[in-house]
A = this chain, B = another copy of it.
Amino acid sequence: MLYFALIMSKKNNYFKHFLSIDSLSKHQIQDIISVANGFFNQDGSIIQSTALQGKTIANLFFENSTRTKSTFELSAKKLSVNVLNVDINHSATSKGESLLDMILNLQAMQVDAFVIRHPNAGAPLFVASQLKNEAVIINAGDGSHSHPTQAMLDIFTIWQHKKDFQSLKITIVGDILHSRVARSLIMALNIMQVGEIRVVAPRTLMPSNTDVLGVHYYPDIDEALVDVDVIVMLRLQKERMNHAYIPSGSEFCHQYGLNETRLKLAKKDAIVMHPGPTNRGVEIAPQIADSPQSVILNQVTNGIVIRMAVMMMTMGADT
C-alpha cells in the first residue's frame, strides 16, 4: 500500500472513471501496476484491507459474466467495499427505466461506484459523460469496444514475467475483429511501446485497419510464433462458428490452435496467456493450458489485484 500512499498524496482521486485504455499514459499504466503489485503478500496471497470501508459498489451486468462479476465482487471485499449485485432482469430497468436513471437512483442510495458490463459499445462512457457528480464508472466490458481491466491484468501478467516491454515480441491469435479483449490489449501494448505485436486470425476475423492498430498481420500461425516472448490465445466464441466466419472447431484447431509443436517455435521461456474460459482442444491443447509456460491462472489472480488497484485509484482518497 506504500506506493498507493505515495501517488495519492498528490491529489484526491487518481482517476475519475476507468472507461478505456486509450486515454491512459505509459506512466499511468506503470502506476496501476505498482499499486496492484502492492496488494500481494510475500507468500503470493492477497491482503485483506479496510482501505475502502464504508464505500459501496454496484455490479450492473447487462450481459451474463459470472467470472468477471465474481472477480469484481471478490476484489471489492478484499478492500472492505460493500457490494450490491443488482438483478438486472428483475430491476426497474427491465420495466423501461433508463440506465442513467438507475444509476442516479443508486447513487442517491449512496452507491459510490458502478461496475458496468453492457452489450452496447460506449454505454459506460455515455453514462459517465451524463453524470454531474462524483459517482465513479468502471467499464467491465462494452460490446466489442473495450475491456480495460482485462487489458490491464494482461499487461500486469506480462510485466510480472518479462519486466521490460520494449524488447518484447508478442503474438495474439484468434478473433481480432470482434474481441474487446484484443482491442484493449493491443492499445495497452502500444502505449507500453512493445517491440513487436503480431496478430494471427482467419481473414474473416481480422479488422481492416491493422496499420492503425500498430500490429503486423500474419495469416500463418507458425510464422507468427517464431521467436516470440508472449503468446496470447483468444477464446473462440462458439457463435462465430454458427455464423460461418470459420469452418468448424476442429478445422480452427488445425489451422490456428496452439499445440506443443507450435509452442516450440517461440522462445524457450515464452509465456502462454488466455483470457479464459478456454476451449480446450479448440484454440489451445490441454497439455499447453496446464504446462509450466501457461500463466492462465496467474492472469485470473492478477485480475483481483488489478481490480483492487482500479477501485483504490478511483474511489480512494489520500488519508
Separation of A117 and B126 alpha carbons in the complex (Å): 35
Known A-B contacts A46-B110, A108-B300, A297-B104; the reply to A277 vs B92 at CB < 8 A is yes
Which of A28-36, A70-78, A209-217, A309-317 sits within the interface? A70-78
Closest to A90 in B: B64
Instruction: Report the stretch among A17-25, A48-56, A194-202, A259-267 that lies at the interface.
Output: A48-56
Residues of B within 8 A of A66 (CB): 86-87, 90-92
Interface range, A side: 35 or more
CA distance A108 to B109 in the complex (A): 31
What 0/1 readout, one digit per residue, does chain A (280-299) give for beta carbons within 8 Å of chain B? 00000000000000000110
Q: Please, which residues of chain B bring their CB within 8 A of the CB of A300?
A: 105, 108-109
In the complex, are the beta carbons of A109 and B303 less than 8 A apart?
yes
Contact of A84 among B46, B73, B101 (CB under 8 A): B73
Contact at A301–B45, with CB atoms within 8 Å? no
A231: Cβ under 8 A from any B Cβ = no
Across the interface, name the chain B residue whose C-beta is closest to A75: B109
A48 to chain B, nearest CB (A): 3
A64: B residues at CB distance < 8 A: 90
> Is A207 an interface residue, CB under 8 A from the partner?
no
Q: Which of B56, B105, B276, B301 contacts A67 (CB 8 A)?
A: B105
In residues 90-123 of chain A, which contact B (Cβ within 8 Å)? Answer: 90-92, 95, 97, 101, 104-106, 108-111
* A111 partner residues in chain B, CB cutoff 8 A: 74
Could you tell me if B77 and A109 are in contact, using CB atoms closer than 8 angstroms?
no
A304 at the B interface (CB under 8 A): yes
